[in-house]
Structure 1
Amino acid sequence: MIDQATIDRILDAAQIVDVVSEFVTLRKRGVNYIGLCPFHNEKTPSFSVSPSKGVCKCFSCGKGGNVVHFIMEHEQLSYYEALKWLAKKYNIEIKERELTKEEKQAHDLRESLFVVNQFANDYFQNILHNSIEGQRIGMTYFRGRGFRDDIIKKFQLGYSTDSHKAFVQAALKQGYKEEFLVKTGLCYRKEDGSLNDRFWGRVIFPVHTLSGKVVAFGGRVLNAATKNVQMKYVNSPESEIYHKSKELYGIYFAKQAIVRQDRCFLVEGYTDVISMHQSGIENVVASSGTALTSDQIRLIHRFTNNITVLYDGDGAGIKASIRGIDMLLEEGMNVKVCLLPDGDDPDSFARKHNATEYQAYINGHEVDFIHFKTNLLLAETGKDPIKKAALISSIVKSISVIPDAIVRSVYIRECAQLLEMNEKILVEATAKLIEQAKESKQKETERKKLREQRNSSSPAPAVQEGAKPAQEAQESTGQPALSDGNGIPANDEIPADNYTSFIPAEGNERKVFYEKEEDLVRMLIRYGERVMCYVENENGDETPLTVIEYIAQSLKEDDLQFHDALHREILKEAEERLHDDSFVAERHFVSHPNQAISKLAADLISERYQLSKYHSKGQKIVTDEERLYELIPRLVIDFKLSIVEEEMKHTLQALTKPEIVNDPQQYTRVMMHFKDIQQTQIALARKAGDRVVNAS
């Protein structure tokens, strides 16, 4: 027996054109593909494959179905044997066994969550179309945005009343369990145990899966109610059926148009998709404000190789989105970029133009990623040779991830002409990056196998015989646990993460940054699960913020991490465990199966002292625990400033090393790292109210 989650993974991964092509020679005809039927002898092709619908059919003998049915018929396999065949093709691990009672319950839970979501979708639509409040507020808003009634119905838009409990009361009256209302995220439980609607007072945008099931919702607070509201949009939390990194808004409505046009437009928000549909451009999807992920890209790639990314006219956030473009290139997509006129986003531009005008503008202004990235970055380089080298390095890095050698060659030639560079140099630089990527991938594969072997041979302890804990490896080799002092990953015995630093591994115990880092880890272990303050959420309710959450979020704000590998591991595990009901940080880490972590935790908490004792007016000693709200933010900002200062110092030293100076590519990489750290220091100094000292 195969559990439903694995079946879903197989069906999501299996592309019917890809599978059928292994047995039938297909050629494109319109939006579909045709070929000679493999199930009977014929001379005129009558076997049709539809990538948008995920089905095939012979119009002569009548055989066909989805990708599993095709394999069952062609290979004469059972349903589960066909699933295993597909799983093997797409490297999806399955275990053939009887489902446990818990797994059967999980399957039932998934189906129940979909049923609840469908009820909610019908409820919100009914309120919008058939209630006075829905017509007066919700429909007025949608029509004010220029949405036609047919478009409102097509995207199943809805409205949730201003009452905090209207939906939950309606759901309970229909017999839906509180458990499912909470697990879908449609409701949340208050401290007194009662349920509140998550989307009250908002217009509703349902999110559909590829097959059309409602998997989540987005709710927008209306203009009249935006005062003092930090987040205009509230989205469903992740659940057993919803993972935002794997969903694209509008894909259900766009898939046939994407196949028909052999092209997909990528925008940011719900209204961008809806307005473009209304203007006649239907091959459009949105990442819904999140960073583009590999799963989302593969979802688009099922229907087309061609994607055009549409950006707002003001260019905000474009640089941050360059990473998304590199990911598209890595998946083998043909990427173009189009900037809309200043002041316009895809939504507003669609409301001003019909499909023909919109398409004409895109055709006249879209450029490939080479021209886009070059024009974007050249404006900043001026005549600075270091900046220009950084630009070239960045573009070469993008080219290096393209899997097709011919496409890479074309882009290298184009890049050489644009930047007036010797093409041979670019070819060599690209080849070097490709080789480095292969080596990194191979090492990561070896690490993964090693971890799996260790886990299978002795699953209980985190540190196995013959494997050094990260701290011991650092002490014995003289190298940082995850960096060799030049930002390069160290030996394979140490778990990998994405930390890069030019600060040496050892000899930091008396450094200011290391003392501050130890102070934070000590506080994390002692008080990690304790609430240090309350913050107001989107519903106006106070939400507790723990020490762990504050430290983790604060570091991510400035893209910083702890320098010590064990410290990073402790913070990562603390975040993962925080919401376990039984989690107590001190008890967990002191008794940790990884001996290095348990020893470090014991050392850090062994002295029961305060970071800075002081007396209140009544001469009463105030403990650290009583003033976490004041103490933790100060420790965080002190650590950030000190580690950034230390990182800048060692990065500048690295720029004087002959092996780096004589390697233009490595020198550029180090210089870019220095500039990133410098920008972080400036931002931190502004937050702290300090003056930035000139590092040079």
Structure 2
Amino acid sequence: MARIPKELVDQIIQTADIVEVVGDFVQLKRKGQNLWAPCPFHNEKSPSFSVNPAKSLYKCFGCGKAGGVVQFVMDVEGTSYVEALKYLAKKYAITIEEEEKTPQQQQEQNERDSQFIVSDWAKNHYHRLLLNSEEGMSIGYGYLKERGLNLTTIQQFELGYSLDSWDDLLKAAEAAGYDKKYLEKTGLTVIRTDDQGHDTGRRYDRFRGRVMFPIHNISGRVVGFGARTLKRDDKMAKYLNSPESDIYHKSDVLYGLFQARQAIRTEEMCYLVEGYLDVLSLYQGGIKNVVASSGTSLTEGQIRLIKRYSDNVTVLYDGDAAGIKASLRGTDLLLEGGLNVRVVLFPNGDDPDSYIRKVGDQRFTEYIENQSQDFITFKTTLVAREASGDPVKKAEAIRDVLHSIAKVPDAIKRSVFLQQTSATFGIDEQVLITEYNKLVKAPAAKPSGSGSGSPGTYSRGAGGATPGFPANADARSGPPARALSDEEEAEMLMYGGAEATAGMPGASPNYEPGAGTPDEAADLPDLLQTCEREVLRLLVLYAAREVDTEVSVAAYLLGQLDEAPLKTPLYAEMWEICRQELLAGRFPEARTLAQNERADIRRLITDLATERYEISPNWRTKEIYVFNEVDLPKLACDNAVLRLNKVHVQRELDRAMDRLRLPGLDDAEMFEILGTIKGLKQLDNQLAGMLGTVIPRGA
């Protein structure tokens, strides 16, 4: 895809009015400086979705969706960054003159466009045959009606029928002026060859006498077909799919996602089934957030598609033991992809399609709500039952479950699953932890292609299984927990406690690390990350505001701290971006920074720049004074820098105390360390006095 020049990107972002863009999807109402509405991404009664016109940012304080105008289009339409820019350019009549393609690139684009065009034509041809031809109505439509599908569903998914003829589609395409080579490239027709594999010059239709299920990509364009025969012939495949082509890659497509994407986002849940009819029956029954892998093994590309719309997926398993075992392997990929996976098992002999037709829409919905259970619990119970009474099988089953637990990125969930597995199998938890640690250290246990780090080892303490967090621990696992002193707790309260660290690397499973070394964030204390975040927040929000005559907040903060003062990788990257902006003669503004191509930076800037509550102007009339950092930026900056420096001193003090506990120290070494500790304590007290914090450390 051709790159859009930066100057044009800036023009689009500056032109787009976030109130107008968001207003196309929800009804906004002003309350204070911001506008509010029910969130378009999840169901809610009280509006928690806020738009800040001045900063051109939006944030939902319910589901956490946030960003600038480009991110909103990406979220609501499920598009890429470039596609969102094109959407906005079209809305505001901005012409995008993309870089000129080479003759080869232009030829490749023409080939793809031609395949899209002929696929769309074929879809319309099959759809007309289903509803207008005698054979289509009696056989194809009759079959779909027998399966309980109504005309609305048939039209919504654009189902069709291919005549039981060798060349119906081929003749119709030639009559309509379509080049037969594109019929071959998309797999709609097949070249007949002789025994030596030579082209005989004869062509015939791939799909004959079958009900046709068009497969759409996320933009709604037809990329291929699934086709079901209605003949009772054991030698003929029941389902036949389009082959791979320039426009159709099975591993990157989910059947029904185009129709389901909005419902998945709104319901915050994706139901995953196996077949076309499962999707159609559930969708018609009111469960619109459903997609199918179309009988293929689940792929990382398909998992990434689901994750664009929801972190939650429920797999609906057929009541078939052999099928369940085959599906278990694919479900591990969902865990590795960071999704919250639940499972529903239907009675033996039933699949989602047959069961909803048997019990009806309401009872089906009640069944999946009542029978849903997390995947690890489901798998543990299943394999434990099968291995009952056989020690060898039991050991293999335990290792199988541990492999699945190792796929879970979240450390707390892994710890809980280990405890559950211990209880289910009746095996000591420490034995499980030991086996788990062997597993994650083995080279074969490392995730392949997932982009995540090792799940991390565990240790057994007084409180049970808790993360040990080695140097290579996953950033999403969170920093090691430790008891906070009274002073640290007081400072955490000053920052708003958990809310202050929400969305921070190492504190939120939604953190998406950039190109740096996010594993380092897992080893940084909460308080350090909080203080770094506060410095960065002031820099982003008030960069251009003056702290003294002719000295801006940005220049003041950059001057107070070294060039690389932040240890959290994402914060350090953001600090450097702001520094480069200032060196280029521009103030780093939240409005511009929030449109960055990187999702983690967009999310960070939005979190820094948005607040749920505003100070009521009525407080001023009542002469109630509230500290306002906007009016006193120097005080806010000084406090933030002092707190950050104090945390660094406390970290050095902790290291010195650890050194003092090392065995085998001679008198000289101990005297040197004690001197260091004394100096650090004096500095710590000085900083506490400057901050007005009087609680002694460790009191």
- 1:108-123 to structure 2, matched below 5 A, reads 108-123=110-125
Structure 1 residues 35 and 428: alpha-carbon distance in aligned structure 2, compared to 1, 3 A threshold: farther
2:172 corresponds to which residue? 170
Contact 1:117 1:216 in 2 (8 A): yes
What are structure 1's unaligned runs of at least 5 residues?
A: 5-15, 59-63, 84-95, 446-696
Q: Distance in 1 between matches of 2:330 and 2:423?
A: 25
Q: Distance in 1 between matches of 2:448 and 2:229?
A: 48
1:298 corresponds to which residue? 304
- 1:514-533 to structure 2, matched below 5 A, reads none
- 1:377-388 to structure 2, matched below 5 A, reads 377-388=383-394
- 1:205-244 to structure 2, matched below 5 A, reads 205-222=213-230, 225-244=231-250
1:253 corresponds to which residue? 259
Amino acid at match of 1:152: I
1:572 corresponds to which residue? none
Contact 1:163 1:201 in 2 (8 A): yes
1:37 corresponds to which residue? 52
Contact 2:384 2:425 in 1 (8 A): no
- Give the TM-score, by structure 2 length: 0.52
Aligned residues: 404
- Give the TM-score, by structure 1 length: 0.53
1:181 corresponds to which residue? 183
1:68 corresponds to which residue? 82
Amino acid at match of 1:393: R
Structure 1 residues 27 and 262: alpha-carbon distance in aligned structure 2, compared to 1, 3 A threshold: farther
Structure 1 residues 411 and 45: alpha-carbon distance in aligned structure 2, compared to 1, 3 A threshold: closer
Q: Distance in 2 between matches of 1:189 and 1:444?
A: 39
Q: Deviations over 1:85-105 (max 9, x none)?
A: xxxxxxxxxxx9864322211
Q: Distance in 2 between matches of 1:49 and 1:295?
A: 23
Q: Does 1:273 align with 2:287?
A: no
Query: What's the CA shift for 1:25?
Result: 14
- 1:536-615 to structure 2, matched below 5 A, reads none
Q: Distance in 2 between matches of 1:440 and 1:50?
A: 32
Q: Distance in 2 between matches of 1:275 and 1:354?
A: 10
1:12 corresponds to which residue? none
1:133 corresponds to which residue? 135
Query: What's the CA shift for 1:307?
Result: 1.1
1:315 corresponds to which residue? 321
What are structure 2's unaligned runs of at least 5 residues?
A: 5-17, 23-33, 43-47, 194-199, 452-699
Amino acid at match of 2:216: H
Query: What's the CA shift for 1:429?
Result: 2.7
2:427 corresponds to which residue? 421
Q: Distance in 2 between matches of 1:342 and 1:155?
A: 29
Contact 1:280 1:354 in 2 (8 A): no
Query: What's the CA shift for 1:190?
Result: 1.3
Structure 1 residues 54 and 169: alpha-carbon distance in aligned structure 2, compared to 1, 3 A threshold: farther
Contact 1:337 1:367 in 2 (8 A): yes
Contact 1:186 1:198 in 2 (8 A): yes
Contact 1:401 1:434 in 2 (8 A): no
Query: What's the CA shift for 1:143?
Result: 0.8
Q: Distance in 2 between matches of 1:444 and 1:362?
A: 29
Query: What's the CA shift for 1:273?
Result: 0.6
Q: Distance in 2 between matches of 1:331 and 1:384?
A: 33
SS of alignment partner, residue 380 of structure 2: helix
Query: What's the CA shift for 1:427?
Result: 2.6
> For the pair shown, which has the larger CA radius of gyration, 1 or 2?
2
2:337 corresponds to which residue? 331
Q: Does 1:195 align with 2:203?
A: yes
Q: Distance in 1 between matches of 2:383 and 2:189?
A: 45
Q: Distance in 1 between matches of 2:297 and 2:206?
A: 24
Q: Does 1:372 align with 2:374?
A: no
Q: Distance in 2 between matches of 1:444 and 1:243?
A: 19
- 1:614-693 to structure 2, matched below 5 A, reads none
Match of 1:161 among 160, 163, 174: 163
Q: Deviations over 1:577-602 (max 9, x none)?
A: xxxxxxxxxxxxxxxxxxxxxxxxxx
- 1:392-411 to structure 2, matched below 5 A, reads 392-411=398-417
Q: Distance in 1 between matches of 2:58 and 2:282?
A: 43
1:678 corresponds to which residue? none
2:212 corresponds to which residue? 204
Higher RCO, Cα 8 Å, sep 6+: 2
Structure 1 residues 230 and 28: alpha-carbon distance in aligned structure 2, compared to 1, 3 A threshold: same
Q: Equivalent pairs: percent with the same residue?
A: 42
SS of alignment partner, residue 72 of structure 2: strand
Query: What's the CA shift for 1:55?
Result: 6.5
Contact 1:218 1:233 in 2 (8 A): yes
Contact 2:257 2:290 in 1 (8 A): yes
Q: Deviations over 1:55-108 (max 9, x none)?
A: 6269xxxxx99733777999xxxx99x99xxxxxxxxxxxx9864322211111
Query: What's the CA shift for 1:420?
Result: 1.9
Amino acid at match of 2:356: A
Amino acid at match of 2:2: I
Structure 1 residues 106 and 43: alpha-carbon distance in aligned structure 2, compared to 1, 3 A threshold: closer
Structure 1 residues 102 and 65: alpha-carbon distance in aligned structure 2, compared to 1, 3 A threshold: closer
Contact 1:56 1:65 in 2 (8 A): no
Q: Does 1:2 align with 2:36?
A: no
Q: Does 1:56 align with 2:62?
A: no
Q: Distance in 2 between matches of 1:204 and 1:443?
A: 34
Q: Distance in 1 between matches of 2:118 and 2:449?
A: 45
Structure 1 residues 65 and 392: alpha-carbon distance in aligned structure 2, compared to 1, 3 A threshold: closer
Q: Distance in 1 between matches of 2:344 and 2:287?
A: 15
Query: What's the CA shift for 1:38?
Result: 6.4
Structure 1 residues 280 and 240: alpha-carbon distance in aligned structure 2, compared to 1, 3 A threshold: same
SS of alignment partner, residue 427 of structure 2: coil
SS of alignment partner, residue 341 of structure 1: strand
Query: What's the CA shift for 1:426?
Result: 2.3
Q: Does 1:435 align with 2:441?
A: yes
Q: Deviations over 1:585-641 (max 9, x none)?
A: xxxxxxxxxxxxxxxxxxxxxxxxxxxxxxxxxxxxxxxxxxxxxxxxxxxxxxxxx
Deviates more, 1:190-199 or 1:231-240: 190-199
Q: Distance in 2 between matches of 1:442 and 1:305?
A: 20
RMSD: 4.1
Amino acid at match of 2:52: C
Amino acid at match of 1:146: G
Structure 1 residues 103 and 434: alpha-carbon distance in aligned structure 2, compared to 1, 3 A threshold: same
Contact 1:56 1:66 in 2 (8 A): no
